[in-house]
Structure 1
Amino acid sequence: MLRKTISIDEQLFSQLKEEGILDHFKNFSDLVSNSLQKTIVIMQKENYRKQIEAMANDPIVLDDIEEIQEDFKFADSEDNAL
């Protein structure tokens, strides 16, 4: 376990106590770790979304998609004939 010191806004900490949020965790460290893990997941999803968005506008990717569609055109028409 890595130990780090953090500073937190006093009003934010009071709100955590008033809302009973701290009661759902073993300790404050557990709350911070849990929150950071959720932040990592959110950021990973956002980064993935941005990568997909960038790929959607990438001419090389679009050419690859077109080529794949062309390759499977015959196979798709066989399924429709059945």
Structure 2
Amino acid sequence: MSDNHLPPEALDAWADALRERFGLAPDDVPIALILDLAGDVSRGVARPAAPFSAYVAGLVAGRRGGSPEDVRATVAEISQMAAGWEN
């Protein structure tokens, strides 16, 4: 395994470090929701679109108010777009 890859069991430790550094609550970093979004976009659009879409989801959810509900709603919208995406 490359030093640039995070093993699955270390994901929680990385998320905890980010939460601590930026003063985030566990609900502020919904790992499973973000990974599901990345998978939906990777399959429906293209793999390189996944991180970009996750960034956009965070930006839009923040502008909508930033609550966990705002995040879930924004992710759902982007996932629906990806499911129906046709180039």
Q: Flag the structure with more relative contact order, 1 or 2, with Cα contacts below 8 A and sequence separation at least 6.
A: 2
TM (norm. structure 1) is 0.30
Q: TM-score, normalization: structure 2?
A: 0.29
- Please say which structure displays the higher CA radius of gyration: 1
Q: Quick check: which one's helix share is greater?
A: 1
